[in-house]
Structure 1
Amino acid sequence: MTFEAYETIAEDSSLEARSRERQALTIGIDRLERLQDGVFSNVDLIESLLYIRKLWTLLIEDLAHPDNGLPDKLRADIISIGLWVIREADRLRETKSNDVVRLVEINRLIRDALQ
């Protein structure tokens, strides 16, 4: 395999990974928007917040991995955002907050940045 062929495969797999991340964030956003509409059961609330929490935990683990190719500053910034998302999801679950709008907005910003 030539170096150029390897670069193409690596670039394609990176594009596929971003596409999967966008899809996962879109699912999370859809779930959060249902909560935002105000018509949901406790099961919907817990499942939606658990999904967001698990998703961001996976993203943070990937960002923290030494082989992650993003610049250190960007990785640190996204990890900080992810930790905030997890804290806010926990606050919603514990009914210490009812602000789903900010969670939707930040997840939408991150998803859209993955274009």
Structure 2
Amino acid sequence: MYQFTYAEIVDDAASDARGRERRAVKRGVELLEQAQVAGIRSRETVEALHYLRSLWSILIEDLAQPENDLPEALRADLISIGIWVLREVEQIRLERCDDLQNLIDINTMISEGLK
């Protein structure tokens, strides 16, 4: 029979959560890359922007919770990035910007940071 310490279980849970977050952000990058190929006014772009808006809204909400175990400064930085992503998504949606590369780059960096 296996016996685990509480710390081992908590570490595994945090690692699992990071893995899920990484996969979610990576999926956003994949959708953005497909949208870039399809064109700024494509269905793929609409889907990518909707996905990113939903994802980052959830992440920001989680980061803002006092129960979040990340250091406060890191949480604040990630919330700032999330707000930037949401603003950039809105600029593209309103056709004030037609470049997805910045969103791809930022989300790729976040995904890599979650490894």
TM-score normalised by L of structure 2: 0.91
Q: Describe the superposition over 1:55-98 as per-residue Cα deviations: whole angstroms up to 9, x where unpaired.
A: 00111011001110111111001000000001101111111101
- Alpha-carbon RMSD across the aligned residues, in angstroms, is 1.4
Equivalent-residue separation in structure 1 for 2:41 and 2:99 (angstroms): 17
* Secondary structure class of the residue paired with 1:67: coil
* Secondary structure class of the residue paired with 2:77: helix
Q: What's the counterpart of residue 65 of structure 1?
A: 65
Runs of 4+ in 1 over 6 A off after TM superposition: none
Letter in 2 for 1:76: A
Percent of aligned pairs sharing the same letter: 43
Change (3 A) 1:40 1:73: closer
Letter in 2 for 1:21: E
Q: What's the counterpart of residue 45 of structure 2?
A: 45
Q: Following TM superposition, by how much is the alpha carbon of 1:43 offset from its aligned partner in structure 2, in angstroms? A: 2.6
1:14-93 aligned within 5 A: 14-39=14-39, 42-93=42-93
Q: Is the 8 A contact 1:34 1:40 kept in 2?
A: no
Equivalent-residue separation in structure 1 for 2:40 and 2:84 (angstroms): 23
Letter in 1 for 2:90: D
Q: Is the 8 A contact 1:56 1:82 kept in 2?
A: yes
Equivalent-residue separation in structure 2 for 1:101 and 1:40 (angstroms): 11
Unaligned stretches of 5+ residues in structure 2:
none
Q: Describe the superposition over 1:19-60 as per-residue Cα deviations: whole angstroms up to 9, x where unpaired.
A: 000100111000001122244764322211010000001110
Unaligned stretches of 5+ residues in structure 1:
none
Equivalent-residue separation in structure 2 for 1:39 and 1:87 (angstroms): 20
Change (3 A) 1:95 1:41: closer
